[in-house]
Chain A
Amino acid sequence: MWIATGALVAFYLFIRVYEQIYGWRAGLDSFAPEFQTYWLTMLWTEIPLELVAGLGLTGYLWKTRTRDMSVLSTREELRRWVCLAQWLVVYGIAIYFGASFFTEQDATWHMTVIRDTDFTPSHIIEFYLSYPIYSILGVGSFFYAKTRLPYFSKGYSLAFLILTVGPFMIIPNVGLNEWGHTFWFMEELFVAPLHWGFVFFGWMTLAVFGVVAQILMNIKRLLGEDGVKAIID
C-alpha cells in the first residue's frame, strides 16, 4: 500500500510539474508541432500502456488465483482481508486524483484556452490518464477479492461490482461528453446537463458502503466472539 501510494503521488506530482511547464509552453496551440511532441505523444503512449497494464494485472491476478480456498488458514485469510482494504485505499487515492484534482483542474483550463481540439493538455491527463488509472486499480481490487478471498470467490458482490464498474463507466461517458461539446450547442458551462453523466457514475462510489460492510462482517467472523468482546470492552 505504501509503495503504491508513494508511486501514485510521485507520478501525479511529476505530471503536475510537467503540465505547469509544457501546458503553457507547448499546450496552447494544438496545430503546432510542439503540441505533437509534448502532448499527443503522451496520449499515444498512455493509452496502450494502460490497456496492457489493466489486462496484465487482471490476467496475473486470475492466473495466480487460489484454486482451493478450503486450505486457507484463518491467519492467512485475515491477512488477505487487510490487503483488500489496502487495495481499496489506493483505489480511493487514485479516485481522488482523477475525480477531484484533475477534474476540477480542467474547469480552469477551459477558462485559459478556447480549445482547438478535444485532446487538450488537461483532457489528456484527466480523461485518458487519471481516469484509466483509477479504473485499473478498481478492477484490480475486485479481482484480488474474487481470486483470493473465499467470501468473494463464489458469485459476485453487488456492491463491489457497482464500486468498480460504476466509476469505470465514467470513461465511456467521455464519448457522450465530447460528442455533445463537438456537435451540440455547448458553452463552457461546467454545470451543463451534458456533464451529469459523470456525476451519476460518480455516485456509484457510494457502494463502498456495501463493500466495507462485507469486509467488517467477515472480520467480525474471523476474530471470533472472544476477540470482538475483548476489543469492545
Chain B
Amino acid sequence: MTVTTLKARTTPYTGEKARLSRAYDYLILVLALFLFIGAFHLHVALTVGDWDFWIDWKDRQWWPLITPLMMITFPAAVQAVLWPNFRLPLGATLCISCLLIGTWIARFFAYHLWNFFPINEVLPATMLPSALVLDAVLMLTNSLTVTSIFGGMAFALLFYPSNWPIFAMFHVPVEYGGAQLTVADLFGFQYIRAGTPEYLRLIERGTLRTYGQYATPLSAFCSALLCTLMYPMWWWLGKAFATTKYVKNI
C-alpha cells in the first residue's frame, strides 16, 4: 500500500456529492424517526394500550404476554430492511426508542398536563433492553432463524425483569378500608378514570388450574414462543413493504 492510498483513506471526501449523501442521511433518519413514532405508537396504543397506560393494568398474566408480542412487530420489519440492505444493526432499538419518545411525550403533555393523571400512574413500560439484545443477536449471527428463535425469545423473556425495577415499588401492599391493595390498585381507585371501571381491567384474577407462583414465568415463556413466530412474520412483512414494484393502473 502506497502512501497516497493511505492518505486517500484517512481524509474524508468533502465534495458536493458527499455533502448531498450526508444530507440524505439526515433526511431519511428524521423521516424514519417521526414516521415510526407515529405508526408504531398507533399500533402499540391500540393493541397493548390499556396495559401500557395504567399502572393497575400491569399484571402478571396478560401484560407480559401481550406487550412483547405486539412490540416485536415493527422492530422485526425495520430490521428486515436496515440489516440486509444497509448493515445497520439498529432496527429494533430505533423502533423502540421512537415508541418511548412518542409515549413519554403523550403521557406527560396529555395525560399529566392536560388531564392531571399523576405520571406514576401512566408510566410506559420499557422494551429497550430487549431491543438491544434483539439487534445484537441479529448483528452477531446475521441469521434470520437464529434471531427468530433466540432473539425473539430473549425479547420476551427480558421484558418483565427489565420493567421490574420501575414497577416493583407499586406492588407494595397497603391496608385500605380493611382490604388489601397494592399501591398500583390504589392509584387506580384514587385517580378516577371516567371510562375504566375496575371490572374492565384485563388482568390476572386467578384460576383453579394455576399452580404455585408461576404466573409471570409462564406468561413470559408463552410470549417468548409467540415472539419467535411473530418475528419472522413481520420480517417478511417488512421485506414485502420494501417493494420497488410498479403498477400501470390504479
Contacts and interface: CB of A to CB of B under 8 A. Distances in A.
Interface of A: 16, 19-20, 23, 78, 82, 85-86, 88-89, 91-93, 95-101, 103-105, 107-114, 155-159, 161-162, 167, 187-191, 195-196, 198-199, 202-203, 205-210, 212-217, 219, 223, 227, 230-231, 233
A98 B38 contact: yes
A198 B111 CA distance: 21
A104 to B, nearest CB: 4
Contacts of A86: 27
Contact of B238 (A99, A157, A209): A209
Interface residues of B, number: 68
Tell me the interface secondary structure of chain A in the complex.
helix
A231 B8 CA distance: 11
B245 interface: yes
B113 interface: yes
Contacts, number: 211
Given A95-B38, A114-B194, A230 B17 contact: yes
B42 A103 contact: yes
Interface string B78-108: 0001000100000000000000001101110
Tell me the interface secondary structure of chain B in the complex.
helix
A100 B38 contact: yes
B190 interface: no
Interface stretch (B48-56, B134-142, B156-164, B171-179): B48-56
Interface stretch (B18-26, B144-152, B207-215, B225-233): B18-26
Interface of B: 8-9, 13, 15, 17-18, 20-21, 23-24, 27-28, 30-39, 41-43, 45-51, 53, 74, 77, 81, 85, 102-103, 105-107, 109-111, 113-115, 117, 122, 193-197, 200, 237-238, 241-250
